[in-house]
A and B are shown apart, each in its own frame.
Chain A
């Protein structure tokens, strides 16, 4: 099984070459990898904790803003800005996690949504964060440890980093699901009373999972800042939220590869088979409603249903 995963991972790396290797292909697949990482952050909250966090756009934006501000204003290197992105999102997640300790279901979603709105307004108006203009001129990503520098200034050069980050994220999520924390999260989700009876502290577990998920989405934001060389209040746009949620539920929850496949289908459609701005919105809405209303288990459940 491990060999199969390894083969799929190697095959995945050469996907842009197999698809022709053009600029559009590299651009699309790099964005797919970044957005998939963003979606994995939400995936462990939605699939394992059973909650809908609407604050993950804020974590994604926190990572992007940290990278841009530290790189542009303080000329920090990419490894240092990566640390900054993780710290910024973790602090935000800790505050929000403590605030939402006693809220569940739609109350949890409402508080996380409210937090996201507050962050968006602050980002759009506070001049220290660039205000409505955002932060421009993010330098190319350079993760070289020894000289000479090797900046990744094109999507083809960024692709190995984006793909590597995606694989690393999948490894972390897979490890989380096998870990005691992952199993405890699932138990808290499925039966909180039973979790308490077995000696678990649901609030502590919820906070720990929240603290794990935020940096995942933030690291995606960090790489996105380098990819497009600009960050702004548009990072809080509902587009990212809808994309994340759809990517997580489209194929099926608690399937390791599902958010990556979901993101690839959604971003791939807008890049290679776009129906125009309005058509893409209609299609996204129809897909979401069809999946949720007819196949709540995602596309993967269709196969199971046919088999049964």
Chain B
């Protein structure tokens, strides 16, 4: 086995996991929202990029901002629908509502884009770098660089800006923050829009590696679920580290043990962590760090 190649694969996959997870990390940390519509939002982001390229002839790099805008709009729509439940912190209803939102998106995407698998034709996917037995593509380089940039930017926004302070206050206690005079629904709007934009951006960078289907749903981003939880609810740095760790784990577990059981092994680790260290699930200590 080529260990260096597996390490590179793991790093690339890990950055993909982290980038797909970043919006959800913020959403879960600040609004306590387990978003089971995350996979369908990813799918919509990928299909918008594909559709823009196909219908307007725009190049890949210009289709990406269009998909990001559509993702942000989708996030804003989600906020409008779920604001009351979010403010009430009705976590049970919120969780089920996201499942419904996912169903709605999947059905609507089926009408709009059809059942056939499609490919996002990124020119970067065809540019390969080879050194001896190891290789990677320009798309991989873009994915890693963009992920690092997004995480750094988010860290700076959360720790150095007024809006970042507002997000942290809302995460700590939305009702008290509202009593203090802050417009909490506007802060939530920013968070939800970021979730939609971030997952659409991730879809544009990750999806060119595989065919996309409107039915791909939550299973497509199932590892993200693990990243968000293992990283510590709401922890930006934690989800980056968890993404990388998970990428390396899946690459080596798949190569050394069994690719078929990789998902089961990852989720077994997740269960163990959640059961043995339930304190890791508290956002109080780690949010936005």
Contacts and interface: CB of A to CB of B under 8 A. Distances in A.
B275 A289 contact: no
A279 B271 contact: no
B264 A121 contact: yes
A112 to B, nearest CB: 10
B100 A287 contact: yes
Contact of B102 (A50, A99, A285, A293): A285
A285 to B, nearest CB: 3
Nearest to A296: B93
A106 B104 CA distance: 22
A15 interface: no
B103 A110 contact: no
Interface stretch (B45-53, B60-68, B84-92, B144-152): B84-92
Contact of B95 (A106, A118, A284, A289): A106
Contact of B32 (A52, A106, A280, A281): A106
A125 B278 contact: no
B267 A118 contact: yes
A285 B267 contact: no
A103 B90 CA distance: 17
Contact of A114 (B93, B95, B99, B270): B270
B100 A285 contact: yes
Interface string A280-308: 11111111110011001000000000000
B192 interface: no
Contact of B110 (A118, A121, A277): A277
Interface stretch (A177-185, A199-207, A209-217, A238-246): A238-246
Contact of A280 (B92, B96, B107): B107
A115 B85 contact: no
A46 interface: yes
Contact of A111 (B222, B263, B274): B274
B34 interface: yes
B278 A284 contact: no
A52 B92 contact: yes
Contacts of B104: 281-282, 284-286, 289
Interface in A38-54: 46, 50-52
A107 B222 CA distance: 16
Contacts of A283: 107
B106 interface: yes
B85 A288 contact: no
A278 B82 CA distance: 23
A107 B95 contact: no
Contacts of B263: 117, 121
Interface string A62-101: 0000000000000000000000000000000000000110
A215 B1 CA distance: 46
Given A99-B275, A285-B102, A285-B103, A245 B96 contact: yes
B163 interface: no
Nearest to B82: A293
B217 A238 contact: yes
Nearest to B108: A282
A222 to B, nearest CB: 24
Given A103-B278, A288-B97, A242 B261 contact: no
Interface residues of A, number: 45
B107 A285 contact: yes
Interface residues of B, number: 43
Interface in A101-139: 102-103, 105-107, 109-111, 113-115, 117-118, 121-122, 124-125
- The binding surface of chain B is classed by DSSP as helix
Interface in B205-252: 217-218, 222, 225-226, 229
Interface string A172-208: 0000000000000000000000000000000000000
Contacts of A245: 96, 99
Interface string A230-250: 000000001001100110010
A26 B246 CA distance: 48
Nearest to B78: A289
A51 B91 CA distance: 9
A124 B262 CA distance: 13
Contacts of A111: 271, 274-275
B173 to A, nearest CB: 17
A285 B101 contact: yes
B227 to A, nearest CB: 12
Contacts of B108: 278, 282
B92 A46 contact: yes
B99 A241 contact: yes
B111 interface: yes
Nearest to B219: A238
A114 B267 contact: yes
Contact of A103 (B105, B107, B274): B274
A242 B106 CA distance: 13
Leading 10 A-B pairs by shortest Cβ distance:
A288-B100, A285-B104, A281-B107, A278-B110, A282-B107, A285-B103, A121-B264, A114-B267, A292-B97, A125-B260
22 contacts: A52-B92, A103-B281, A105-B91, A107-B274, A107-B278, A109-B34, A110-B225, A110-B270, A111-B274, A114-B267, A118-B268, A121-B264, A238-B218, A245-B96, A245-B99, A246-B96, A277-B110, A281-B110, A282-B103, A283-B107, A286-B100, A292-B97
Given A52-B96, A110-B34, 16 more contacts: A52-B92, A117-B264, A121-B260, A121-B261, A121-B263, A121-B264, A242-B100, A242-B103, A246-B96, A246-B100, A249-B93, A279-B107, A285-B101, A285-B102, A288-B97, A293-B82
